[in-house]
Amino acid sequence: MTDTPWTGDACSLVEAFRAGERSPSEELAATFAAIDASETNSVCFTDRDAARAAAESADVNLPFGGVPIGVKELDSVEGWPATHASVAFADDVAGFTDTKIERVRSAGAVLAAQTTASEFGGVNQTYTKLHGATRNPWNLERTPGGSSGGSAAGVIEGLFTLGTAGDGGGSIRIPGGFCGLVGLKSTFGRIPRGPKTGPGNLTVTPGAMTRSVRDTARWFDVSAGFDLHDPLTLPKAENWEAGLGSHAESLRGLRAAVVPEFAGSVVADETIQLVTEAAEWLIEAAGLARTDADFAVPKGGAMWSASGGVGLWDTVMERWPDCAGDLTSLMRAGVEATVANFDATSAVRAERARVEVNEGMAGLFEQADLVFCATNPDVAFGADSRLPSEFGGKPASPINNGALTIPSNIYGNPAISVPIGMSSDGLPVGLQILAPHFAEPLLLDLALKVEQDRPWPLVVPAS
């Protein structure tokens, strides 16, 4: 009998199922028991009867056959709550299932639980009026990040091996860095956002929170590829998992810039030290060529906020202003600013700002093939406190929390966060690597090199 959930990665769990060492039904029972005992508040809904039926009939020969997964609160599963992580939508129920979720379910995954997110995915702290604070398993006083904080916390705590995620300003990479997980934001369009995809926010890229590089690669094998319901999706790329480790020659000699304080961000000194050391080691280990590169930061934050404002408008306006009192103060301020300021002129200005960011990022990649920087400006901050305005003792605007990650969302290039060690206070630190469009195979191979030579804990060690 399985008493506790699997502490390896999802791929090895499938291997254990196929070898008869564990069964999907026993694994699911252990998952639900762990969810019930958890103190992280990372799960907000469980679909136990449907999940048990799926586990009992699971085909373990499928890529994720029998693996229980968490589904982010902002993703849609028919019949599940469709809350947008907001009290204003607490009673809504989803009428359809996202294409990416259907693909993963068709690959054998068991949809076990819905994981908490930040309200409308708006900030990198998973704290809402609807569910309260979600907590980082490494330190329950700290946040796992956001908006995919519940998925990240559940995976690193050991509740389930995989959780769906999405990255519109760093919401895969930021929790990955705070929790010690692999977090790949792929080239925009790799994984469909539909069905019912609006023009809305062109920065959001779906993905997953995973414990290993091969889990990430398998996830993309299963979920990526063109979808008729999302005309901006890219053609399917093959061999994400099969190609792991095969790009050493392609990497050798590529120009690599180390910019811990990328995009003008303010970064804690200890984070700079850890990121720089790891980047320099990886450059030598992979045979890269160190170079310098400059990225002049345009007013990309305004463009990102305006683009996000379109999504907020579309989501909230049908209930505004009746729902105003139900929103967190930060989201209410954001919506009110959108109502007051977003018009055709601001939309045009936002698109001009997008062009400036795109040109700046293109110029960056003309100077360097890869860019190494911090994932987060500091380690995880408080779970239920205000967004920090100080990073390692250095003052900065709260916008600094996403300064390292947002440019890749605007430009649409891939970027990955990989764990590189622990801070002096025992919290994970992530190294972020940026590459031009369609270069995910190179990023995965670099992450694999780190994983093989400097392995990280797959779950938080038992105390």
Reduce the DSSP state of residue 339 to 3 states and report it: helix
Query: Quick check: 200 pLDDT over 80?
Result: no
Percentage, residues of the chain above pLDDT 90: 81
The answer to whether the beta carbons of residues 413 and 153 sit under 8 Å apart is no
- In terms of C-beta distances under 8 Å and separation of at least 24 residues, what long-range contacts does 342-346 make, across chains too? 342/306, 342/309, 342/310, 342/313, 346/306
Tell the CATH superfamily of the 10-453 domain. Amidase signature (AS) domain (3.90.1300.10)
Place of tokens 């907000």: 44
Q: Which tokens hold the place of 434?
A: 């940026």
The answer to whether the beta carbons of residues 134 and 144 sit under 8 Å apart is yes
- Nearest residue to 116 (alpha-carbon basis) of 88, 157, 79, 145: 145
The predicted structure's pLDDT at residue 315: 73
168-187 pLDDT, tens per residue? 999 999 999 999 999 999 99
Domain extents in the chain = 10-453
**314 falls in which pLDDT band (50, 70, 90)?**
low
pTM of the model: 0.96
Amino acid at 94: A
122-174 pLDDT, tens per residue? 889 999 999 999 999 999 999 999 999 999 999 999 999 999 999 999 999 99
- Nearest residue to 339 (alpha-carbon basis) of 314, 315, 313: 313
